Amino acid sequence: MTAESTPVIVERHGPVWHVQINAPARRNALGRAVVEGLAAVAREVATEKTVRAVILSGAGDKAFCAGADLKERRGMAEPEVRAFVTLLNDTFNAIAASPKVWIAAIHGACLGGGLELALCCDLRVAHEGARLGLPEARLGIIPGAGGTQRLPRLIGVARAKELVLTGQRIDAAEALRLGVVNRVAADHLDGAQALAAEVTQCAPISLTQAKRAVDLGWDLPFEAGLRWERACYDVTIPTADRLEALAAFAEKRAPDFKGE
């Protein structure tokens, strides 16, 4: 088993980085050290030009992430709980708003804050044996890291309410049917790598602007959404990568994007 001295392991290989939550003895639960590690990675990824996509996974063979660290939480006074939930939300929001594409590679348990973390990613690939759910209401709380907001936006209010108001766990096939995950794979890491390879064929500035266009535009009134799309499109017009794509097309070769 991986040594747990580093709560978040980052492999910085080329355009696709691999970020792994490394607390398998607690099923990669979101303790303070893990969340602070994720916050640091989110900051680094946002400013590091070479990285275009991030694969986020959990260590060990049991869980992507079992949600809040219920052992750590038990020792926290109420003000500490409030402060921690603020840190958790700030971190998750930074991942969701990242200029880079985040892909969750989900295996085993993906529960509570673990599913909320996956929902902050742009894309989700699940191992065929994964189990996903938001059990918070069974624990005397409610999803507190975006789950009640991101899940209905992703799959619709009625379907989201069924998961939130029952706390049920669903399998990967059901998650795919509902649209909670994009793909199911026999190997979640291979599946995420394949998806990342497709993503990184795109121009880096295009990825950032397309993500902004969707995330900040989809719930605007339609005409305002189209104006927002145009504003994001305009950012790509003066880029060298746009001219490189046109040249590559004319020369019948693959483009060599520089993110400029």
Q: Which residues, 128 to 187, sit near ligand COA by CB under 6 A?
A: 135-136, 139
* Residue 128 annotated in active site: no
Q: Which stretch binds ligand COA (CB under 6 A): 33-41, 66-74, 145-153, 185-193?
A: 66-74
> Of 116, 160, 175, 213, which one is the catalytic site residue?
116
68 vs 207 by CB, closer to ligand COA: 68
Site residue total, ligand COA (CB under 6 A): 18
42 counts as binding ligand COA under rule CB under 6 A: no
50 vs 86 by CB, closer to ligand COA: 86
Q: Which residues, 80 to 139, sit near ligand COA by CB under 6 A?
A: 109, 111-113, 135-136, 139
* Residue 113 annotated in active site: yes
**Least distance from ligand COA to the Cβ atom of residue 57, Å:** 15
> Of 136, 185, 191, 229, which one is the catalytic site residue?
136
Any alpha helices (H) in the chain, and if so which ranges?
A: 32-47, 70-74, 78-96, 113-120, 147-155, 157-166, 172-178, 188-199, 204-215, 222-236, 240-250
**Spatial CA neighbour of 128 closest among 180, 184, 195:** 184
> What is the rounded CA–CA span in Å between residue 73 and residue 71?
5
229 counts as binding ligand COA under rule CB under 6 A: no
> What is the rounded CA–CA span in Å between residue 173 and residue 43?
33
* Residue 114 annotated in active site: no
**Options 7, 18, 27, 213; binder of ligand COA; rule CB under 6 A:** 27
> What is the rounded CA–CA span in Å between residue 83 and residue 137?
21
63 vs 196 by CB, closer to ligand COA: 63
Q: Which residues contact 233 (CB under 8 A, 6 or more apart)?
A: 209, 213
Chain Cα centroid distance, residue 48:
18
- Residue-wise DSSP of 208-229: HHHHHHHHTTTTS-HHHHHHHH
What does the binding site for ligand COA look like in residue numbers (CB under 6 A)? 26-27, 29, 62-63, 66-71, 109, 111-113, 135-136, 139
